[in-house]
Structure 1
Amino acid sequence: MNPWLALLLLWLFAAVMMTLGWRWQRRHRNTGIVDALWAAGLGGGAVWLALCGTGASIPRILLAVCGCLWGARLAWHLWQRVGHEKEDGRYAQMRAYWHGHQGKLFAFFQFQAALIVLFALPFVAVSANASRVPGWLIIGVVIWLVSVLGESTADRQLARFRRYPLNRGKTCRDGLWRYSRHPNYFFEWLHWFAYVCFAVGAPFGWLAWSGPLLMYVFLRWISGIPWTEAQALRTRGEDYRAYQRSTPMLFPWFPKTSRESRN
């Protein structure tokens, strides 16, 4: 199938899925469902584009397996939060700012549907890859394993910390969160380099670089870190400011000493 037609069909599916998600949030007043749907839609998009691709079988199989497992894990993790917690503070703030305007929320959900297509561009490059370079495929699998293991570990550590009522209003500094304020985002960004490796040798393999580039831009300046840190400052105040002074923002590194963090 023509890859651009495959992307068009993916967008139509994503638009319908996000419309259903918007209707769900109207009943439950929880916009967080959009994140779970985004992950599920992108994971499904990896499988869809692998099936529609014309490249060699091994890169396409790796795309389908890695994309599906990544999307399923992340979607399930996010769905657990949506199902067991009240609306994320970031989305509650957005809902309040828009005064609950459902037209704006619908547009937001549809914007996420468009982002599924945008972030699926690396999958197009992999699915068209007729080359089989074993070294790059192995490196891609290693990157995928490290990143998914790291992200899932960070998610579990944070969930365990938040489970205890005594930690309410405090900042998680356990495990990976000691070395980065957003280790889950770091490993999410790292994960996209796996598809860059899977696309080596493809006629437009450069397209796979859109994954880590777009993810970094969104995490660093648009919807990831700015929203998360603004919410953390609203709810944790000085404790989070001290965390900001001592702990790297995204790329893991050793935290500063207490004396350095005060400067």
Structure 2
Amino acid sequence: ESMRLNLKALLVVLWGVRLTYNFARKGGFKKGGEDYRWAHLRERVGPVVFQILNITFSAPGQMLLIWLFTSPIHQAWRFQEAGLNGLDLLAAALFVVFLVGETVADQQMWNFQQAKKRRLAAGEPVAAPFVTTGLFRYCRHPNFICELGMWWTFYLFAVAASGEWLHWTALGFIALTAQFIASMRMGESISAAKYPGYRAYQATTPALIPLRRRQRRGP
């Protein structure tokens, strides 16, 4: 029995619980529920192309992507005789840190959106149409960088098991990063078109890596 495999399985289960809970409370499992970006994409490309994307990407492509970024488990299975080492412990610790970070970011976004809905329903003014506080003060997509961070560090388990720093399972976090960047750009184009102040937020706050906030240049 491999302690590394058990540890990785536990981390993936924790990730899945957080993801399922957050998706459910936003109405993802309700009839007709969908991410707002899908509606925008459907309007942009038309119903025919959208259905082609459903058949070729949304269904099989997403499953392939999940298989790819969890594929480092395969390396751990191949090298079960290799015991846990310091790199495993580092990877597990980083995974948990990123998991907690994403959970906090999701909760901050949820709190903001719920408060915004209550104000709009009561006819009260909304001071800020999008969240810029909490973790969102340091980067525009803290949940994205934490999600990516989990799967970047998950790859380290494969390195710890095999002793090889570069192998095919790296395709998982590379593909996931590419998808997140594309998704981020789509979401930001929607926000910039909807909220006039969003471009100022983009100009002063990093997208993913929480570096020092930039000073906005004058006209």
* TM band (smaller chain): 0.7 to 0.9
- Gap regions ≥5 residues in structure 2: 120-125
Matching residue of 2:46: 99
The residue type paired with residue 178 of structure 2 is V
Aligned match of 2:202: 244
Q: RMSD of aligned C-alpha atoms?
A: 2.5
Letter in 2 for 1:147: F
Once the 2 structures are TM-superposed, how far is the Cα of residue 71 of structure 1 from its aligned partner? Answer: 1.9
Give the structure with the higher percent helix. 1
**Amino-acid identity (%):** 25
Deviations, residues 101-147 of structure 1 (Å, cap 9, x unaligned): 47423333232223223323222222323212421121011111100
2:162 match: secondary structure: coil
Select between 63-72 and 92-101 the one with higher mean Cα deviation. Answer: 92-101
Task: Give CA deviations for 1:10-63 in whole Å, capped at 9, x if unaligned.
Answer: xxxxxxxxxxxxxxxxxxxxxxxxxxxxxxxxxxxxxxxxxxxxxx61110011
Judged with a 3 Å threshold, the aligned counterparts in structure 2 of structure 1 residues 173 and 261 are, in CA distance, closer, same or farther, namely farther
Of the candidates 19, 22, 33, which is equivalent to residue 77 of structure 1?
A: 22
Partner of 2:129, secondary structure, is coil
The yes-or-no answer on 1:198 pairing with 2:148 is no
| 1:60 lines up with 2:31 in the alignment | no
Partner of 1:34: none
Q: CA separation of 1:168/1:117 partners in 2, compared to 1, >3 Å: closer, same or farther?
A: farther
Q: Distance in 1 between matches of 2:210 and 2:173?
A: 17
Alpha-carbon distance in structure 2 between the residues aligned to 1:154 and 1:209: 26
Quote the offset at 1:241 in angstroms: 0.3
CA contact (8 A) 2:102 2:143 kept: yes
CA–CA distance in 2 between the matches of 1:159 and 1:225? 18
Q: Which of 1 and 2 has higher RCO (CA within 8 Å, sep 6+)? A: 2
2:174, 2:132 → 1: CA distance?
Answer: 28
Task: Specify the alignment match of 1:256 in structure 2.
Answer: 214
Q: Which residue of 2 aligns with 1:225?
A: 184
How does 1:144-163 map onto structure 2 within 5 Å?
A: 144-163=95-114
Which one-letter code corresponds to 1:95 in the other structure? Answer: R
Gaps of 5+ in 1: 1-55
Q: Is the 8 A contact 1:193 1:212 kept in 2?
A: yes
| 2:83 maps to 1:132 | yes
Q: 1:230 to 1:126 in 2, by over 3 A?
A: farther
Q: State the distance in 2 between where 1:228 and 1:92 align.
A: 12
Give distance in 2, aligned partners of 1:100 and 1:150. 37
Q: What is the total number of aligned residue pairs between the two structures? A: 203
Contact 1:59–1:129 under 8 Å retained in 2: no
Cα 1:78–1:117 change in 2 (3 A) is same
2:139 maps to 1:180? yes
TM-score by length of 2: 0.81
For 2:163 and 2:214, the matched residues in 1 are separated by 45
Given that 1:140 and 1:197 are in contact with CA atoms closer than 8 Å, whether structure 2 keeps it comes out as yes
The aligned amino acid for 1:212 is F
Amino acid across the alignment from 2:90: I
Which residue number corresponds to residue 37 of structure 2?
A: 90
